[in-house]
Amino acid sequence: MDMNNEVLDKLKQIPVFAEIKDNEKYLGLLHEICKRKQYKANETIIKEGELGSEMFIVLRGGVEILKRTRAGDNYTVINLRAEDNVFFGELALIDDDKRSATVTASIDSDFLLISKNDFMKLGNNHPSVGLPITRAIAKIIAGRLRKTTSDMLTIFDALVNEIGA
């Protein structure tokens, strides 16, 4: 399989591109703004708290997602491999994203990167490509917001029950 087919096949597997995955022209336009980058095992890809303006897709290899505790220690949230169709940093395509976790390469890995500037240009020039992707990212944000609201209500209920006990 040549490199272009490998990249196109990977893009088709990424959920935020689901609405355009069957349109070869749209997928080709998306492919044009993808850059390739390699990271060595244990190399930091993004750091929690830093601003970022790129979305990452694991083409080959794997990543470890780390979160910092209030005490400042890192703990591993999850290890993911390219076969899991891993992508992260997608919010950076919409807004300058303060990274919510640290991501390191668990093994030597290849990534596709999409910058916010390139994505914005693509969306401005080809709204029929940018809009479905933006909608998919909005759904991700909405899902996270609903989960946060639900978690806050659970904590609030527990606090009320604790005070009332």
Other CB atoms within a 10 A radius of the CB of residue 143 amount to: 10
Give residues with Cβ within 8 angstroms of 128, minimum separation 6.
26
Band of residue 148 on the pLDDT scale cut at 50, 70, 90: confident
CA distance 83 to 1: 16
Q: For residue 152, what is the DSSP state?
A: H
Band of residue 165 on the pLDDT scale cut at 50, 70, 90: low
Other CB atoms within a 10 A radius of the CB of residue 128 amount to: 13
CATH number (domain holding residue 54): 2.60.120.10
Question: Can you give the pTM of this predicted structure?
Answer: 0.84
Number of independent structural domains in the chain? 1
Range of the domain at 66: 3-164
3-state secondary structure 100-122: CCEEEECCCEEEEEEEHHHHHHH
Digit-coded pLDDT (tens) for 57-108? 999 999 999 988 888 788 788 888 999 998 998 988 988 778 889 999 999 9
CA distance 84 to 14: 9
CA distance 150 to 81: 30
Average pLDDT on 46-55 reads 92
State phi, psi for 111 to the nearest 5 degrees.
Answer: -130, 155
